[in-house]
A and B are shown apart, each in its own frame.
Chain A
Amino acid sequence: MHNPQLNANGELTHLLSIEGLPPAILTQILDTAASFMEVSAREVKKVPLLRGKSVFNLFFENSTRTRTTFEIAAKRLSADVINLDINKSSASKGETLLDTIDNLCAMHANLFVVRHASSGAPYLIADHLRRVGRDDIHVVNAGDGRHAHPTQGLLDMYTIRHYKKDFTQLRVAIVGDILHSRVARSDIHALTSLGVPEVRAIGPETLLPKHLDRLGVHVFHDMAAGLRDVDVIIMLRLQNERMTGALLPSASEYFRHYGLTPQKLALASPDAIVMHPGPMNRGVEIHSAVADGPQAVILPQVTFGIAVRMAVMSIVAGN
């Protein structure tokens, strides 16, 4: 089957989703990111790989952390970075997505970083570029709808590998609103692909997708049972808009059952790490004592995210 992310040689030319990527490519990205961590630690935090290239950040949906870390990553690769806040530009005047892309291609774009509320938008762009013969332009998905957030998934894997070294002995729990979470989907595919033997999903029935077991995930509705002996806890943000619908009674009710408190964390393995993709809602999905505690690796995740995005952009731009 044709994989739109790979070129004819099987090399990564777009990053659209972790699903369907060979484990060797995931490992290559993590290894390359480790080399970029060294670059970020020295006096001149730049390498000349993407000198003269233009990276367009196309954010059709709001984001601060992801957009900023992509921008820092591109600048550390010596690319020129253009940020387009599409809410305020052509799309609001009625231009179609692909017309916007064609115009940016005419401005000599080399790489698009795309965040879009519609699942599949980055695929549409990659497919369009192929049809118009622009195989030299690359697309990196920075989050599309409920579908995928592959660089977040990869930076989560980098974080886990950094602290736990080996994927093949781990129990990993993902907690919260998995139904609406593209991060959870990317994490599940990456964890499974890298050989994690036990992936758990913990949350209320209304926030867990059906058929998670088909992805090899163990489903728990009770935090105490789900957290027992896990090595890694990935907390998800509870989006405020979920509260207004019929999915949840209230934030305090949610916190009582699924908020990560020191008492609940004590059920996990004593050296378990706590991750969160941000932005955090303190007192909703996570207690401040945990978020600021010794087992939290939430801020290192952000730092690793820059190196991972440098790795992804430099790999796709070279293929």
Chain B
Amino acid sequence: MPNPPNPLPDAELQCRALADLIRPHVARNPALVGIHSGGAWIAARLRELLGLPDDIGLIDVSFYRDDFAEKGLHPQVKPTVIPFDVEGRHLILVDDVLYTGRTTRAALNELFDYGRPASVALAVLADRGGRELPVAATWCVWDIDLAAGDNLVLERDDRGRLAWRLENA
């Protein structure tokens, strides 16, 4: 994987590239589920770009995390809202950064408490490696190699524009 470029790539352009990857599959009428908070912003973009009819779902995986015993409950849990019937549906789970795979695992567990989807795909803007579970993205537009202490953060400004920020440990 390449090291992080300077400056960081344009997240808005990456959303368009991700939509282009997904577009051949919209005939199955997929529904989008964004993982709070970056994934939800990207899912909202993808819905516009792909012209999907359903409102996006929003998942906060705090109630399903595997590190509750060490870290406790996140102080600001947002409600999970799935505004469509999951049963039998093709779902696209959307996140900003794929790292250990633990968030994806938690999101899958939560989704299945709403019903049995026909399929679940995973769309992410960035894959930073470092997987601790057998999880892979279906669609990804940016492979990047980061040191363990680095943190890649997606931010949204007042005008709703998405941009990357890199936090160094």
Interface residue? A11 (CB, 8 A): yes
Q: Which one, A30-38, A199-207, A281-289, is touching chain B?
A: A30-38
Convert B142-165 into 0s and 1s, putting 1 for each residue whose CB lies closer than 8 angstroms to a CB of A: 000000000000000000000000
CB-based contact B81/A32 at 8 Å: no
How many residues from B make CB contacts under 8 Å with A? Answer: 22
* Cβ-defined partner of A315 (8 Å) among B60, B69, B72, B82: B72
| B7 at interface, CB cutoff 8 A | no
Contacts known (A35-B60, A48-B109, A49-B63); A314 close to B73, Cβ less than 8 A? yes
Most chain A C-beta atoms within 10 Å of own C-beta, residue among B64, B69, B82, B115:
B69
Residue from B64, B72, B82, B115 within 8 A of A318 (CB atoms): B72
| Bitwise interface map of A from 33 to 46 toward B, beta carbon under 8 Å scored 1, else 0 | 01101110011101
Choose from A34, A46, A318, A319 the contact partner of B79 (Cβ within 8 Å). A34
Residues of chain B within 8 A of A46, CB atoms compared: 113
Partner of A48, one of B63, B72, B76: B63
Q: What is the interface of chain B mostly: helix, strand, loop, or mixed?
A: loop
Minimum CB–CB distance from B103 to chain A (whole Å) comes to: 15
Size class of the contact patch on chain A: 20 to 34
Tell me if A28 is interfacial: C-beta within 8 Å of chain B: yes
Bound Cα distance from A266 to B21, whole angstroms:
62
Contact status A48-B79, CB under 8 Å: no
Cβ contacts under 8 Å, A34 to chain B: 79
Tell me the complex Cα distance, A173–B76, Å. 31
Min CB–CB distance A45 → chain B (angstroms): 9
Hey, which chain B residues are within 8 Å of A11, CB to CB? 72
Is A117 interfacial (CB 8 A cutoff)? Answer: no
CA separation between A276 and B64, bound complex, in Å?
Answer: 34
Q: How far is the CB of A26 from chain B (nearest CB, A)?
A: 13
| Interface pair A38/B80, CB less than 8 Å apart | yes
Which one, B60, B76, B113, contacts A44 given CB within 8 A? B113
- Asked whether A47 is an interface residue with its Cβ less than 8 Å from the other chain, the reply is yes
Asked whether, in the complex, the Cβ of A35 is within 8 Å of the Cβ of B79, the reply is yes
Taking CB atoms and an 8 Å cut-off, the chain B residues in 46-97 that contact chain A are 60, 62-64, 68-69, 71-73, 75-82
**Is the beta-carbon distance between B68 and A318 smaller than 8 angstroms?**
yes
The reply to whether B81 and A49 contact each other, CB–CB distance below 8 Å, is no
Question: CA A31 – CA B73 in complex, angstroms?
Answer: 12
How many Å from the CB of A208 to the closest CB on chain B?
Answer: 38
Q: Could you tell me if B80 and A35 are in contact, using CB atoms closer than 8 angstroms?
A: yes
The listed residue (A37, A38, A44, A315) touching B73 by CB distance below 8 A is: A315
Q: Which residue of A lies closest to B109 (CB)?
A: A48
Smallest beta-carbon distance B120→chain A, Å: 16
A300-B72 Cα distance, complex, nearest whole Å: 29
Chain A 307-319, CB-CB to B under 8 Å as 1, else 0, gives: 0000000110111
A47/B115 in contact, CB under 8 A = no
Which of A32, A34, A315, A319 has the most B CB atoms < 10 Å from its CB?
Answer: A32
Other A-B contacts than A31-B77, A42-B82, 17 sampled, CB-CB below 8 A, are A11-B72, A28-B76, A35-B60, A38-B79, A42-B113, A42-B114, A43-B115, A46-B113, A47-B64, A47-B110, A48-B64, A49-B68, A315-B73, A318-B68, A318-B69, A318-B73, A319-B72
List chain B positions with a Cβ less than 8 A from chain A. 60, 62-64, 68-69, 71-73, 75-82, 109-110, 113-115
12 contacts between A and B (CB under 8 A): A28-B75, A32-B77, A35-B60, A35-B63, A35-B77, A35-B78, A35-B80, A47-B63, A48-B64, A315-B72, A318-B69, A319-B72
